[in-house]
Amino acid sequence: MTMLPGEIFWERFGHDAIVVVDPDTRAATSYNFGFFDLDEPDFTSRFVRGDMRYQLVALPVDQDLATYDAEGRGVSIQWLDLPAEDARQLAAALAENARPENARYRYDYFLDNCSTRVRDALDRALHGRMRSQLEGRSQGNTYRSEAMRLASPEFWMWLGFDIGLGPAADVPLALWDEAFVPMRLAAALAEVKHTDGRPVVRGQHEILAHRLAPEPEERGQRWWLWAMWGLAIGGASAWAGRRYPRGTAAVALPFWTLSGVVGVLLLFLWLGTEHRFAWTNHNLFLLNPLAWLLLPGAVRLLLGRKAGAWFDTVLVLVATLALVGMFAHWLPLAPQRNAHWIALLLPIHLGLLAGLRRR
C-alpha cells in the first residue's frame, strides 16, 4: 500500500506499508514501519545526532487509512501474486517483527527507512528475485535529486538538503536503492517478475483519491542564473568596496556572519553526528567558520576605521578556499553537485576581496 506525499515535512517523501489479509476472517492488517514517538525524552537529541528510532506497528487497515484520508493523501494498493507458502511466511515474519520487543529499529533517511523495510521484506518473500532484477538498472537519480525534488514545495527543507548533503548523496542510484522513496518502490515493484515470467503485481487500484498538490517533478538546476547573480553581486562589491568601503562592509557583515553559521553547522554534521550523507561537504569551502574572523574588521570599516592587521590575510584565505572548492568540484574523486553554489558564492568572495583589500 503506497501513500502519496503529505504537507508536513516528514510526510513529503510519501509512505507505504504491507497489508496482510487473513484468508479465514478476511481481516486486513497494515504493517506500517513509519511510527515514531515525538514525546520520547531523547527524541530531539537523537534526531540531531542522527540516531533516531522508528518502529513497526500492526493495525487494522481501516484505522491506518483513516489517517491518510483525513490528511487528503492518495493511497493505492498493489496485490501481490505470491505462492501460498511464501505469503504465509511473509505474514508470520511481519507478525513476529511487530512484537514490542522486535518492533523498534534504527532509522536512516536513505538506507533504512519505512520504504526500504517494506522493500527488504518483499525481497525475502521473493527469495532475492526483486533485488537481482533492480540492482543492475538505474535512471541516474541520486539521494540528493530525490530529496530535493520531494522537498521542493517547502523552500527551507529544499535549501537544507541542498546545502547540507555531501558528495555521498550524489552517487547515481540503482532502482533497488531508489526504492527508499515509496512511490519509486511501487513503480519498480510493478516491473518485477517471477522466474516463469509472471508479474509479481497481479493488480493495482486506487483506494483514496489524492486531494493535495501532486507529487513534485524533478527540475534541473539553472546554474547560469545563479552565476548571473553571483557575478552581479561580486562585481558590485568590487566596485563599491573601493569607493564606499563602509557601505560594502555593512553588506558583507551579515554575509560573513551567515557563512560562519552555516560552516559551523556543516562541521557539526560531519564531526559531531551520524548523518553520514552530510560528511565531507564541499560547501565548507564556500561557507566556512573562518568568515567569522572577518567580522571585527568589517565593524571597524563600518565605523570608518582601518580594518586591522589580519583582515587582508583572512580575506585572501577565505577567497582562496572558495577557489579550492571550485577545483574540488572538477575532481573525479567524491564529486559533489554544488556547481550552482560555486557559481553564486565564489564571485561574491572574490568581489569582496577585490573591493576591501588594501592596495
Q: Which long-range contacts (CB under 8 A, 24 or more apart) does 7-10 make?
A: 7/71, 7/212, 9/151, 9/154, 9/157
pTM: 0.92
Give the model's pLDDT for residue 359: 58
Give tens-digit pLDDT for 63-82.
999 999 999 999 999 999 99
Dihedral sign for Cα atoms in the order 342, 345, 350, 351: positive
Between CA 138 and CA 149 the distance in angstroms is: 17
Give tens-digit pLDDT for 80-121.
999 999 999 999 999 999 999 999 999 999 999 999 999 999
Between CA 172 and CA 149 the distance in angstroms is: 15
Q: 338 vs 166, 176, 226, 273, 327, CA distance in Å?
A: 9, 25, 11, 22, 12
Give the model's pLDDT for residue 40: 83
Give the model's pLDDT for residue 343: 96
Give tens-digit pLDDT for 339-351.
999 999 999 999 9
Percent of the chain at pLDDT above 70? 100
Cell, residue 223: 546554474
Check pLDDT > 80 for residue 122: yes
Burial class (CB in 10 A: 0-12, 13-18, 19+), 326: middle
Check pLDDT > 90 for residue 38: no
Pairing of strands 75-80, 28-35: unpaired
Give the model's pLDDT for residue 223: 86
> Do 358 and 312 contact (CB within 8 A), yes or no?
yes
Between CA 153 and CA 236 the distance in angstroms is: 32
pLDDT band of 309, cuts 50, 70, 90: confident
Give the model's pLDDT for residue 221: 76
Element holding 80 (H helix, E strand): strand 75-80
Give the model's pLDDT for residue 315: 96
Q: Which domains can be identified in the chain, with CATH numbers?
A: 2-138+174-208 (3.90.1720), 223-356 (no CATH)
3-state class of 51 per DSSP? coil
**What's the mean pLDDT in 44-71?**
93
Check pLDDT > 90 for residue 333: no
**What's the mean pLDDT in 186-197?**
96
pLDDT band of 222, cuts 50, 70, 90: confident
Quickly tell me which residue has 522466474 as its cell: 195
